[in-house]
Structure 1
Amino acid sequence: MKNCRCRVYGRVQGVWFRKFTQNIANELGVSGWVRNMPDGSVEIEASMPKNVWPKFYEAIKQGPPLARVDRIEVEDIDKSYSGGFEVVR
């Protein structure tokens, strides 16, 4: 399993990035959550099979049509999620 925390920087708020991430996560069977951060970035914590990680990463790197992803910081974490993916407010 791949358990990670991602911070996504760029134009990622107000462009449906969280909903896009939730849809991709549900499509790929990824569990966890996504939320907007006060600094304008988006934070994601997610758990998935290791072979799903490249697809998930490429999807969030692309983002929805109105987004512009400048960079993504990825950190492996010990926490594991199961049972779905949600948008946290």
Structure 2
Amino acid sequence: MESKKVTVSGRVQGVYFRDTCRRMALAAGVRGWVRNRPDGTVQALFEGEPDAVEQMVAWAHTGPPQAAVSAVEVTSVPASDPVGFRVVG
């Protein structure tokens, strides 16, 4: 089991980033959450099998077609065993 927190910068709010992230994570079998932050970034927690988590981290570098990702910060974090994948905030 792997758990990573990502913070995505750029034009990532108002472009369906969170909803697309939720759909991609569910399809990949990844648990966690995604949320907009007041500073204009999007933050997500991806937890699951290492390959699936890495798939989501790679996706975060591009995001949905309307997004313009300029940076992605990735941090390994202790597993918290979230249920499902949800948009928070």
State whether structure 2 residue 72 is matched by structure 1 residue 84: no
Q: For structure 1, list consecutive stretches of 5 or more residues without a partner in the other structure.
A: none
Q: Residue 3 of structure 2 corresponds to which residue in structure 1? A: 3
Question: Across the two proteins, how many residue pairs are aligned to each other?
Answer: 89
Sequence identity (%):
38
Mapped contact 1:4–1:76 kept (Cα < 8 A):
yes
* Deviant stretches of 4+, over 4 Å: none
**TM-score of the two chains, using structure 2 as the length reference:** 0.92
Alignment partners' CA distance in 2, 1:81 and 1:47: 7
**TM-score of the two chains, using structure 1 as the length reference:** 0.92
Q: Residue 48 of structure 1 corresponds to which residue in structure 2? A: 48
Alignment partners' CA distance in 1, 2:5 and 2:57: 12
RMSD value, Cα:
1.1
Q: Residue 29 of structure 2 corresponds to which residue in structure 1? A: 29
